[in-house]
Amino acid sequence: MHAAYPAVVSALLFSVGVYGVLARRNAILVLMSVELMLNAVNLNLVAFDALWRDRLHGGQVLTLFTIVIAAAEIGLGLAIVLLVFRNRRMVEVDRLTELGEARRRPAAAEPEPEPVAAAREGDGT
């Protein structure tokens, strides 16, 4: 079998995963896309392990590792998604921007000169 087949398949699979991670809004679908990317890597590992007849089967062993890590990751990720859903009733990734730089009102578009003044302003509102 030619090496190009599994390589192309896994490249396609990876691209689908990348697209999903970057473009999907649903957190669960994002997680699934991550799994797609991991599996693209797994496919490569297994294919080249078989192709080069590796005596130690390093590729397959590494694949097993990846699967275990992926399982752990998905468990953790789904738990987080579950908690986010419980808190917010939605799991849309692009609306979860709490950690970003705060959106400022148009009036305070200039950088505030002193943090003290900002704090006082915050107290007032």
What is the binding site for other proteins (CB under 8 A)?
A: 18, 21-23, 30, 93-94, 96-101, 111, 113
Q: With respect to other proteins, which residue has the nearer C-beta, 61 or 76?
A: 76
What pairs with residue 92 in β-bridges? 26
Q: With respect to other proteins, which residue has the nearer C-beta, 98 or 123?
A: 98
Amino acid sitting at position 82: L
**Whole-number minimum distance, CB 29 to other proteins, in Å?**
12
**Whole-number minimum distance, CB 31 to other proteins, in Å?**
12
8 A C-beta contact, residue 31 and residue 77: yes
Report the C-alpha gap between 96 and 98 in whole angstroms. 6
Q: How many CB atoms lie within 10 A of CB 36?
A: 17
Q: With respect to other proteins, which residue has the nearer C-beta, 4 or 99?
A: 99
Read off φ and ψ for residue 53, nearest 5 degrees: 50, 55
Report the C-alpha gap between 26 and 91 in whole angstroms. 6
**Whole-number minimum distance, CB 115 to other proteins, in Å?**
10
Q: With respect to other proteins, which residue has the nearer C-beta, 14 or 47?
A: 14
